[in-house]
Amino acid sequence: MRRISILTVLVFVTKLMFGQSYTLKSPNGVLVANVDLKDRLTYSLSVNGSVIVEPSAIAMSTSVFTDKNFLGKHTALFDSTSRTVMPFWGTTASIDDNFNQLTLKYPDGLSLEFRCYNQGFAWRVVTTLEKDVIVYNESSEFNIPDGATIYFPQVSAFLTPFEVNYLPQKMHEIETGALGLTPLMYKAPQGQLVVLSEANLFEYPGMFIKKTKGKTLTSVFPQYPKKEKQELPGRLHLVKWPQISRMVVKKTENYIAKSNGNHTYPWRAIMVSQNDAEILENNLVYLLADEPKMDFSWVEPGKVIWDWYHNWNLQGVDFKPGINTQTYKHMIDFAAKNGIEYINIDDGWTKLWNFNKVNPNLNLEEVIAYAKSKGVKVFIWAMWNTIDKDFTANLDMFSKMEVSGLKVDFFDRADQRIVDFVNKLAEECAKRNLLLNLHGTYKPTGINRTFPNIVNIEGVLGLEYNKFSDKCTPTHNLTIPFVRNAVGPMDYTPGSMRHVTPENFKKSWENPHSMTTRAQQMAMYVVYHGGVQMLADSPTLYQKDSIALNFLSDVPVTWHKTIALEGKVDENVAVARKHGNKWYIGCMTATSGHDFYINLNFLDDREYKMTVISEGNSDDELVLNSMVTGKNGIHSFKVKPRSGLVIILE
């Protein structure tokens, strides 16, 4: 990754102080953080004078620190940094990385760093010690202003697939002790949107949130595993996937983390936007992550033909569809003909616990060789704990098979054992030029910056829920861009070609339908982002709709520029993204229709052909219209409830 225009300026150094207060501002002066060291260390945040986080304490209990509340003598250092980050892939070709930093340096190798960006605020602990550090607990508070609406992603335990609805509530409506995931989003009383998350997660567990008292949310963490056991999950697939089991923690240590003494702990990140749409351009989590330390020039994002969502259900073919050689060759032919870079071979290609016991109906070597002859690459699915049974040998096997990527699944945890495994997996796959699509796992923490071979991450309630649940609603679809996708790539797996109204929806394993129109499913490929995007439904269904197929063949997955045009959480969104010389605009609605007014003032001063893909006379129909427009064009579009619109400008 290249950085340019690096400038670091030492502003001033204070004397050793106790009971001091410090003010740290964003480069544009809009976001102000106050850090106070009195009875305990607290921080607070305001935007243009409006408080968005009230004084909240930070504390950590370890085997080394004698003062877990970060009080006592220290030196305060202020500095500023301005530079440009050039991502390998993502939603923009370059990101301004400008921030002001306050560092509190304590004796004996302990520091606390605070950063203020225009996009938000973050802090972390740094140690420079010669011995290992055991962390017994970390307590980071988030005191939410009265009147805020909180989209609380509640879970019942640390064992979770990280796939939930974000439901709006007031703080008093959330039960004390309720456990939630991060990212967590809330809307402040003055309208600012705030997302709580973390970044640069290494040698530490992932952060959860608990409602502890009054208007206080507090970080909580799974303890380090001491004993694990394979168990059947009490969720989702027990009827269809009776073999599936996951590693459940049965006993834990009395600490949450153990790390090298020379360590930077994860950033606690507070993303801030002055309106809902602005959060769609927020790159704070990515900027806080470590730069890559390896060559990733070989990474190629793209689209993927998926098999599992539609249950290998092909129509009108002269063979019996299923997990067999003919089905995958058909998928490869479809991908090659339509410019789709990858196919996915999902669960069922082998026995779950033994990669050597391949499905007898599937000649895997022949399929991979056939894909290579057609210029199509292969992702293959595996459970993390099967890989872990013989880690190096299994990764070497996949490399020798000449698959291009692994879709690794069923982590269902975020304790340090799992976090360490994910980071090790990313590094070892990178050494073998293997891409990774992580499923059943925690949210992105900027790891796609450190390891750009991680081209997508699930950690979201996605389209697959239509097979076994009614939770994948239009409202959900219009919430996740503002919270889950705001922290990094999101493998929602769009592309449903079967549609019904919510009142007529019935879950179906064999024949899943979405609650939205086909036009909304197309718009998802612009609004949602990730380094690989699935085409979830059956190739034979795409072949019946030339408008959908032509669009899906051409739409990129990586972008050179992103502009959030408008948006309101759980109601509507419009995003413009540029790839090369072509712009795409995606518009989506939830349960109410919306009139989108699209101002094309972001175009350069030339004529453009504008192609519009919109809803026809039914949920399943797309219509296409074209016209000529330009930089001064302002166009209005009436989009019905749970529908969408795609605009292509070239």
How many other CB atoms are found less than 10 A from the CB of residue 11?
A: 11
| Cβ 608 vs Cβ 648: under 8 Å | no
Q: What sections of 237-295 are H helices per DSSP?
A: 284-288
Beta bridge partners of 43: 35, 56
How many other CB atoms are found less than 10 A from the CB of residue 254?
A: 10
Q: Which is it for strands 154-155 and 179-180: parallel, antiparallel or unpaired? A: antiparallel
Report pLDDT for 5.
Answer: 34
Report pLDDT for 7.
Answer: 32
Catalytic (active site) residue 412 = no
Q: How far apart are the first and last CA of the chain?
A: 29
Report pLDDT for 8.
Answer: 32
**What is the SS3 assignment for 228?**
strand
Q: Supply 457's token pair.
A: 């991450």
Q: How many angstroms separate the CA atoms of 314 and 322, rounded?
A: 8
Report pLDDT for 65.
Answer: 77
Examine residue 183 and say whether the peptide bond preceding it is cis (omega within 30 degrees of 0): yes
List, as one string, the DSSP characters of 77-114. Answer: EEEEEEEEEE-SSSS-S-EEEEEEEEEEEETTTEEEEE
pLDDT confidence of 221, banded at 50, 70, 90?
A: very high
Q: How many angstroms separate the CA atoms of 566 and 69, rounded?
A: 42
| Cβ 644 vs Cβ 586: under 8 Å | yes
Report pLDDT for 118.
Answer: 98
Which of 464, 537, 566, 619 is catalytic? The answer is 464
CATH fold of 2-221+256-288:
Beta-galactosidase; Chain A, domain 5 (2.70.98)
What is the domain partition of the chain in residue ranges?
A: 2-221+256-288
H or E element, residue 550: helix 546-554
Q: How many angstroms separate the CA atoms of 423 and 395, rounded?
A: 14
Report pLDDT for 424.
Answer: 98
Catalytic (active site) residue 307 = no
Q: Supply 391's token pair.
A: 């880690």
Report pLDDT for 243.
Answer: 52
The predicted model gives 190-198 an average pLDDT of 97
Q: How many angstroms separate the CA atoms of 586 and 565, rounded?
A: 10
Report pLDDT for 244.
Answer: 64
pLDDT score of 377 more than 90: yes
| Cβ 343 vs Cβ 312: under 8 Å | no
Nearest 10 degrees: CA dihedral of 438, 440, 445, 447?
-20
pLDDT confidence of 3, banded at 50, 70, 90?
A: very low
pLDDT score of 414 more than 50: yes
pLDDT tens, position by position, 463-472: 999 999 999 9
pLDDT score of 239 more than 50: no
Q: Which is it for strands 257-259 and 193-199: parallel, antiparallel or unpaired? A: unpaired
pLDDT confidence of 628, banded at 50, 70, 90?
A: very high
Report pLDDT for 326.
Answer: 98
Q: What sections of 141-300 are H helices per DSSP?
A: 284-288
Sort residue 463 into left (φ over 0), alpha (ψ -120 to 50) or beta: alpha
Report pLDDT for 230.
Answer: 86
pLDDT score of 78 more than 90: yes
pLDDT confidence of 9, banded at 50, 70, 90?
A: very low
Q: Which is it for strands 377-383 and 342-345: parallel, antiparallel or unpaired? A: parallel
Q: Supply 412's token pair.
A: 């269902």
The predicted model gives 546-568 an average pLDDT of 98
Integer CA distances (angstroms), 473 to 477, 516, 535, 536, in order? 6, 8, 19, 17
pLDDT confidence of 236, banded at 50, 70, 90?
A: very low
pLDDT tens, position by position, 41-62: 999 999 999 999 999 999 999 9
Which of 409, 412, 458, 620 is catalytic? The answer is 409
pLDDT score of 490 more than 60: yes
pLDDT tens, position by position, 95-145: 999 999 999 999 889 999 999 999 999 999 999 999 999 999 999 999 999
> In this prediction, what percent of the chain has a pLDDT beyond 70?
95
Report the chain's mean pLDDT, rounded to a whole number. Answer: 94
Report pLDDT for 240.
Answer: 53
Q: Supply 298's token pair.
A: 């070989």
User: Of 611, 634, 610, nearest to 623 (Cα)?
Assistant: 611
pLDDT score of 255 more than 90: yes
pLDDT score of 196 more than 90: yes
Sort residue 22 into left (φ over 0), alpha (ψ -120 to 50) or beta: beta
pLDDT score of 427 more than 80: yes
Phi, psi of 582 (to 5 degrees): -115, 140
